[in-house]
Amino acid sequence: MSHQFHATVLREYDIRGIIGETLGTADAYAIGRGFATLLRQAGGSKVAVGYDGRLSSPELEEAVVAGLNASGCDAVRIGMGPTPMLYYAEASAEDVHGGIQITGSHNPANYNGFKMVFQGRPFFGADIQELGRIAAAGAWLDGNGTHERREVLTAYVARLTQGLAGIDRAQLADLRIGWDAGNGAAGPALELLVKQLPGEHHLLFTQVDGNFPNHHPDPTEEKNLADLRKLVAEKSLDFGVAFDGDGDRIGAIDGQGRVIWGDQLLMIYAEDLLKLEPGAAIIADVKASRALFDHVERLGGRPTMWKTGHSLIKSKMKEISAPLAGEMSGHVFFAHQYYGFDDALYAAVRLIAASARLGKSVTELRGAMPALVNTPELRFQVDESRKFAVIEEVKVRLAAAGADVNGIDGVRVSTPDGWWLLRASNTQDVLVARAESENHAGCDRLLAEIDAQLAASGLERGPQAGH
């Protein structure tokens, strides 16, 4: 017996596809078998399995467990919850050696997929391709694994509250926060969490619903923060927090309704953390603002720019022992007093803690940030066979021109008044561009530089330009 995956589903950081078209239960079964085979070969035998609130998730979970069992691994079924709850189940239990979360993350409702952790490390890239090779060859180990159900939610939420360790809760008694779970998998954990936090809490859309009837659960798109912004304004709350569909990415707004983007949140976390761990390395991806790297340096930290992608960031954190990392996309990773994985619920608790320790409101912290002009992430279609080649062509031209280039993930070009980025997505047939300057004129000039490079490679950015 063997299995062939659809060409589009085995991606760089995870496995993802459209239910009934490119992904189904046969794929889930094959993933379980392949993962169990690799884990047993590495000396492991037990896998935690969780799933998000999508309509297709329960049947995929059944199939993954069947696959794990058929290749001789035992499954610990933790039920429905956010992806970081699965990471917690794997990290905190000595008898568990790997984890699989069934989740479509922030994709449309008809998508689903799998995020995996293997003996405490991210399972991505070549690991995922290996699942495909094993399946195509039918080279699975055989066995008879068992499965058990384990309640993890209560212990997980209790662990989240430890993010306030050392904070005088009395000083948080007047705090008033808005929360938007977006009908995603974080809802039940959030309801439990706020009962254990000081202050007053107002919740939106905690009912898990895989149809996402209120808005799409992606807090990095400003339009999805409209309900939260309205709540914060109507009730004059201190700030608001939103989560994506599986609770591993955070979005936030301050008391004035201003968005606090991923790199701006990291500026707040860094200021707090560098008081606790002076001189620490702090990692951000290549899409982050120069203001963040300057801020970390000014505070005596070691700013480290790294490749975009949660698995890549987690690996780099372990390599250089960084206590904190983050991405523009809202993934925030705390290894300081936590496990080093991306957990938006924990990041929300640490935002409360940072504000308390720094003695400033979230609105004050946001207001103190430099007012730079930047584009959103500009994405445009490029044929899969061309996207990496284009980046290489741009690198050659920039080197010949003597430009100041960081080539760690695409090209990030620094100029006296800002920077611009062009990189190939690892998960889609698109190029991603971004630019930031001190004013609109500077931003326009940087966008023109991007356009000139694309034109030299026979491409154009298309109609979605602007900022």
Annotated catalytic residues are 105
Instruction: Report whether 418 contacts 438 (CB < 8 A).
Output: yes
Please report how many Cα atoms fall inside a 13 Å half-sphere around the Cα of residue 165, on the Cβ side. 10
Report the length, in residues, of the chain: 467
Instruction: Report whether 378 contacts 434 (CB < 8 A).
Output: yes
> H-helix or E-strand containing 448?
helix 440-456
Torsion of CA 58, 62, 67, 72, to 10 degrees: 120
Instruction: Report whether 225 contacts 212 (CB < 8 A).
Output: no
Strands (E) located in 67-163: 74-80, 98-102, 111-118, 121-122, 147-149
- Tokens 């997929």 sit at which residue? 113
**Cα-flanking dihedrals φ and ψ of residue 414, to 5°?**
-90, 135
Separation between Cα atoms, residue 408 and residue 304, nearest integer Å: 11
Separation between Cα atoms, residue 186 and residue 83, nearest integer Å: 9
> H-helix or E-strand containing 295?
helix 290-298
Separation between Cα atoms, residue 337 and residue 117, nearest integer Å: 20
Select from 278, 378, 362 the least CA-distant residue to 328.
378
Q: For strands 418-424 and 147-149, give the pairing.
A: unpaired
> H-helix or E-strand containing 411?
strand 411-415
Instruction: Report whether 431 contacts 460 (CB < 8 A).
Output: no
Please report how many Cα atoms fall inside a 13 Å half-sphere around the Cα of residue 81, on the Cβ side. 28
Separation between Cα atoms, residue 139 and residue 168, nearest integer Å: 56
